[in-house]
Structure formats: C-alpha cells, structure tokens
C-alpha cells in the first residue's frame, strides 16, 4: 500500500488552447477538464491504475465533491478537518506542449489542522510500503512541517518519500540528517536551489546533476530521483548513479509528469526491481504522462519502458 499526504490539495482545471497563448488577447478553447489533484493525490491515482492499493490523506470536508470524486475513482480517501475550501489551480496548455500554471494559495491553516493531518498519516504509516509527503504547504504552515513529520515517521517505521519545493524543501535539507527521507524527488531547478549549482547546467548535464544529488546522499537521504524534463532523470543511491533518457514523446502537458515519475520509481521498488530498472520505470511513467492532456495519469498499457535508455554514471563523490 502507498500512503500519500497532500497538505494543499487542489481542483486542477486544465484549459487547452487551439493556438499560442498571447497576453491581452481573446482565445478559443479546445477543451476544459477538471479533477481533484495535488501531488499526493496524483500518486494515489497512479497507484490505483496499477492495481496498487493507496490511501490518500487530504484536508477536506467528508461530503466535499473533491472527496467524493476521489472515492468514485477508487481511491481510499481519508479526509481530515480543513481550514477552508479546496483551492483551484488553473493550467493553460498550448498545442506545442507549452504549459502556463496559475496556482491559488488555499486557506490559511492553524496548528490544529496540521496536527490532524500528521496524526492521520502516523497511524497508518506502519502498514504502508511507502509514505509519500508531496506538494506545497498551505498558508500558515511552517516550512519545517515536512522535516518534522519525517522525524516522527521514523519512530513508527516504514519508508518515506518527499517531493516538495521552495522553503519546505530548504527546511528539509537544513534538517539533515535527522530529517532525511528514504527518497527525495527534486527537479533540476530545485536541486540547484540548495546546492548552489546552475539550474540550466543541471537540467542539461546528468553528471553534474548526479554530483549535486550526491550531497543529499552524503546527508543521509536514501535515494535521490532528480527529474530533468525532456532530458529524463538521474537516480543516485549510496551504491551508484544512473541516467535515463525518455522515449520519443510528443509533449501535450507536463503537469503531473513528475508525480507519475515518482510513482514509477515506487512501483519499481515495490516490485523488487534493481535501481536502474526502477529509474527506467520512473522515466517511462513520466514521459507517458507528458504525452497526455491535463493531469491525466498514464495506464500501465501506455508505458514504453523498453524504449528508455539507462546508463551508469561515473564517480560522483
């Protein structure tokens, strides 16, 4: 079972244009889709599609349409008392795959709301193969929320993956080694934000990415899955480092591709795959997601894992 926490969930509304987005102009919309989302929710969706049980902890009212939609999708949703309504995020996609995101902040939380979320995770983590803490934090939450929750999860057992950015990511790194999760999934820009590297260089140079990620391994993190967009991903563990290139993909929407990549890695681990094969499955999931509209999660039948190329990288110490 994969347990996910999405502290700042959203209703993800995707607007697909039939031409290039131009500020100040009237545009014709090709399609509009809307579904409950957020990083952890997306991972739970991917798990259900791959026949892996998943529990999704989210702050929302029990009778909120957001919760009902997840239950209808087969996700075991465990709502906890929210601070307010679920926020709405807007994504605008263009025919060439260019994506523009407009994310709302969500309701401001109190310590009570955060503790309810933490407790909902802590009581279930010992029965999960992985606990995933994912996404931004709501207004009012201290940046250290994830770092502290990782420490508390260590006391109950189970493996922990974290996918976040900005201040919560920095707080997690600042708290190493006591805040070290079993897996972190930064992208090139996020990796550069706390290693001092150049984001463009990391996105284009897998070897440089591996060297930067090694800093996290040295800090106690179990593994680092660094996603690099069209350049694939890099996996670094205490045993080695690998780079995977994606199969040829016509990009439709990159929203949720990183979430799918993270799930692919977790699925590979649950299946007992070796590190290079876990990385290949992660990239296969991410590239398949990028070829689908909105935040659509790929089905296992849509993967092209056999077209992912994996190479071992040299010394990253």
Catalytic residues: 259
- DSSP states of 90-112: EEEE-TTS-EEEEE---PPP-HH
**Tokens matching residue 270:** 């649950």
CA 204 vs. chain centroid, Å, equals 21
249 Cβ neighbours under 8 A, 6+ residues apart:
287, 288, 290, 291
Burial of 102 (0-12, 13-18, 19+ CB in 10 A): exposed
Contacts of 155 (CB under 8 A, 6+ apart): none
Query: Cα separations (Å) of 213 from 11, 118, 146?
Result: 32, 28, 19
**26 burial level (CB within 10 Å; 0-12, 13-18, 19+):** exposed
Strands 224-227 and 233-237: antiparallel
Of 241, 223, 225, 212, the closest CA to residue 312 belongs to 241
């Amino acid at each position: 079972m994969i347990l996910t926490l999405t502290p700042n969930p959203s209703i993800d509304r995707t607007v697909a244009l039939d031409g290039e987005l131009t500020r100040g102009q009237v545009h014709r919309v090709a399609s509009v889709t809307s579904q409950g989302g957020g990083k952890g929710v997306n991972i739970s969706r991917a798990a259900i599609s791959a026949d892996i049980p998943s529990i999704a902890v989210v702050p929302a009212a029990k009778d909120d349409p957001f919760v009902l939609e997840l239950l209808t999708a087969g996700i075991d949703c465990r709502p906890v008392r929210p601070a307010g309504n679920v926020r709405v995020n807007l994504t605008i996609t263009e025919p060439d795959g260019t994506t523009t995101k407009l994310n709302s902040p969500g309701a401001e939380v109190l310590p009570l709301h955060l503790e309810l979320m933490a407790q909902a995770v802590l009581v279930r983590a010992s029965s999960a193969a992985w606990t995933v803490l994912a996404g931004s934090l709501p207004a009012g939450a201290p940046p250290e929320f994830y770092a502290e929750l990782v420490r508390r999860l260590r006391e109950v057992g189970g493996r922990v993956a974290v996918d976040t950015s900005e201040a919560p990511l920095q707080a997690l790194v600042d708290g190493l080694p006591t805040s070290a999760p079993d897996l972190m999934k930064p992208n090139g820009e996020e990796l550069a934000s706390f290693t001092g590297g150049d984001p463009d260089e990391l996105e284009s140079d897998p070897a440089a990415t591996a060297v930067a990620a090694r800093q996290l391994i040295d800090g106690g993190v179990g593994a680092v899955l660094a996603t690099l967009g069209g350049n694939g991903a890099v996996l670094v563990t205490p045993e080695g480092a690998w780079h995977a290139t994606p199969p040829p993909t016509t990009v439709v929407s990159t929203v949720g591709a990183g979430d799918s990549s993270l799930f692919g890695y977790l699925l590979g681990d649950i299946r007992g795959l070796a590190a290079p094969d876990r990385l290949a499955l992660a990239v296969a999931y991410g590239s398949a997601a990028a070829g689908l509209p909105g935040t659509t999660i790929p089905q296992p039948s849509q993967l092209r894992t056999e077209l992912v190329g994996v190479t071992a990288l040299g010394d990253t110490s």
